[in-house]
Amino acid sequence: MGFSGTARWTHWSSSFPDFAVRSPGLPGPAHEKHTDYRYQNTWTLSGGVDYYYCKNLTFRFGAGWDESPTHKPERRTIRIPDSDRWWTSVGASYMKNNWQLDVGYARLFAKTGKSTEDPGVHAKYKNTASNILGVQVQYKF
């Protein structure tokens, strides 16, 4: 049995401060429109277990939490309705000779979010769960 974990910090505040759109059709100086996203720095935490059932078969289980860079409704825009997320995952690997088959499934759960960033707009949106399925075949030389 093997255990793994990850803690990742993302420096959003300086890497994605705003989004500029340039077009000759936009009014204003130099035909630019800036959207100030004011993203905050975030953490992602995850952990997993590999269970070696036999020489050829491994099962995997994992979970993680991914923090949204928009912690407060007044910083969240209706263009990107983000919220904190939880991940769960299961998978397996089967090896035979030089071949390996990997199969994995993850389910992403997101919290309901609110946005009060735009004047006069008070939005509430429900994020639904996302499903991710992956299959991979390898041949090792």
Q: What is the pLDDT of residues 5-63, one digit of tens each?
A: 999 999 887 776 667 767 776 666 656 666 677 788 999 999 999 999 999 999 999 99
Q: Which pLDDT belongs to residue 28?
A: 63
Q: Which pLDDT belongs to residue 26?
A: 61
Cβ pair 91, 103 in contact under 8 A: yes
State the average pLDDT over residues 122-137: 89
- For residue 134, pLDDT beyond 80: yes
> pTM above 0.75?
no
Convert the pLDDT of each residue in 81-127 to its tens digit. Answer: 788 899 999 999 999 999 999 999 999 998 887 777 777 778 888 77
Per domain, the residue ranges of the chain are 2-18+35-139
